[in-house]
Structure 1
Amino acid sequence: MSTLPPAAEMERAYLERDASYNGLFVLGVRTTGIFCRPTCPARKPLPRNVEYFATPREALVAGFRPCKRCRPLQTDDQPPWAADLLADVERDPQSRITDGDLRTRGIDPATVRRYFQRQYGMTFQAFTRMRRLSGTFQHIRGGGTIDEAVFAGGYESHSGFREAFTRVFGDTPARAPQGECVQVAWIQSPLGPLVAGATSDGICLLEFSDRRMLEAQFRTVQRLFRSPVVPGTNAHLKRLQAELERYFEGELKAFTVPLVYPGTPFQRKVWDQLLRIPHGETCSYEALAKAIGHPTAVRAVGTANGMNRISIVIPCHRVVNKDGQLGGYGGGLRRKQFLLDLEKGRQH
């Protein structure tokens, strides 16, 4: 995991535009939804409006978009094809450039994948997904007008913006802040940014924001709750953030934030049983199947475990193979091991 210089040091660096800190961190500006290099020539934001990230990747998955003046995604040794791809994505963040499109341009998809993985810690397809889910909609969340959101997102027309917004969030920009909806917010953690969702009744989503299935989870939540999914916050999300901070500090062993997790009767049995696994302990898939009264349904239990939409709080990471090996985990085995070690008091 990346480390950052002290906050006071980073604040001094960006206020003084200290070039020696380029590459050590980027700063996200909450009021604009943009992230920059420390040396960005744009007007300096107030310190209270700034968030710091070790890498551009972390800023992207936290919902910020790259500054067009200081271009924090560009590097000195960037190949021309990579610069062209980045420019195309910035011109239309909602576009989907497939492997077929890359081949048409004469670019090997494997080369693109390796470059983006090395440079930004994610594949090109993951990179474009994060841009589609980034800060384009922060103006609406903050009460800004649709005209401002269209301009901020780089869209050429209102219709293009409305189509992109509706495709991801399930409703038009004008209606999104109204009525019942699933509020979605990004939460920082030692394992990378998390995307959390909540209705007025409780938390319904908590996922690592770089998961490939994140957009599918948005659609599932939208279907289950028959409500649009929009950027925002509420009391449940604020409570979740506070509890997650205590959890990662090793101080919290039981979450108390309300949860809402509709599913089939079988899935609910599995998820309810996950909540009964004590902090610091693990359970095998076989034992979990027996505990819910379906001893032969081990494979189905594993499938339901993998479909858990509220990671960490509904602790699917506590389920391991019969021989004690970690088994699978949607967030990656490194994260699973970290969570288990944290709960056993092996790290903070």
Structure 2
Amino acid sequence: MYSMRGKGPKMSETQMEMVGRAAAYIKARQADEADGPVTLDELASHCGLSPWHLQRQFKRAMGVSPREYEESLRLERFKKGLRSGAGVAAATFEAGFGSSSRVYERAGAALGMTPASYAEGGRGAEIRYAVGESHLGLVLVAATPRGICRVELGDDLGDLEGQLRAEFPRARSIARDDSGLGRYLAEILRRIAGQTPRRDLPLDIRMTAFQRKVWSTLSRIPTGETLSYGAIARVIGQPGAAQAVGQACGANPVAIAIPCHRALRNDGAIGGYAWGSQRKQALISAEAAALTSEGRGRSKKTVSG
């Protein structure tokens, strides 16, 4: 979920408070199950700002527009409904999507699979996980026998383990195995430190065709370099899909293994990151520093084609 980040020139307490009021209003409207989405004019009137200023301040603080923030809340509500055992139709209604076609269009892209598949909650899977420490905090790497299915970053072990179990509520087993997953964890920690990958990591994740294109492109961005959402959209042959590229980055379930931290907003700003914008900046800085210390004795890679 998104949190205030305040990149660029420091925002005043009044500005941050105003953005907080706007976010709280959006949450309250969804909790009250009010009809229809919150319009920008309505939100601006509530906060006493012009729509233009509210949009600008909100995106600066949260990394997303008010509309994108509202959609993220709706998606989380939908996912919660699916994990609780509600059918797709019931979860659709409760989340306020309005129609199943809208769910498959919007939620499907963010889930990386159809809502029906997500509702299976990893049914029957045997999942092991390992936990390590880095300059970013704790790192949890989870895998099935087929490959890595989750990489999470955080500060609290209980929270990380809870998130893993919440994502796979119907798994046959979820058990810690630091020894068995040691090689996976070591490779992730190596990458977090800014070093170039030593080996490929097998992944066991679901993705849409669009996400496959985006994530494949992300994986070809050389360590220490970045691309804008718009540039990635052009690389995959869909120049008008910059916003969808950002959504695909946000849906990445395996931090670091798929380096979505190397994707920036079109204006060069850090942009959102599922594990926090400060971690994203730290990753980019670590990679740049490691690249400088190593020198560039290898030929430069490209991400084209």
Q: Give the TM-score normalised by the residue count of structure 2.
A: 0.49
- Structure number with bigger Rg: 1
**Which is helix-richer, 1 or 2?**
2
Q: Give the TM-score normalised by the residue count of structure 1.
A: 0.43
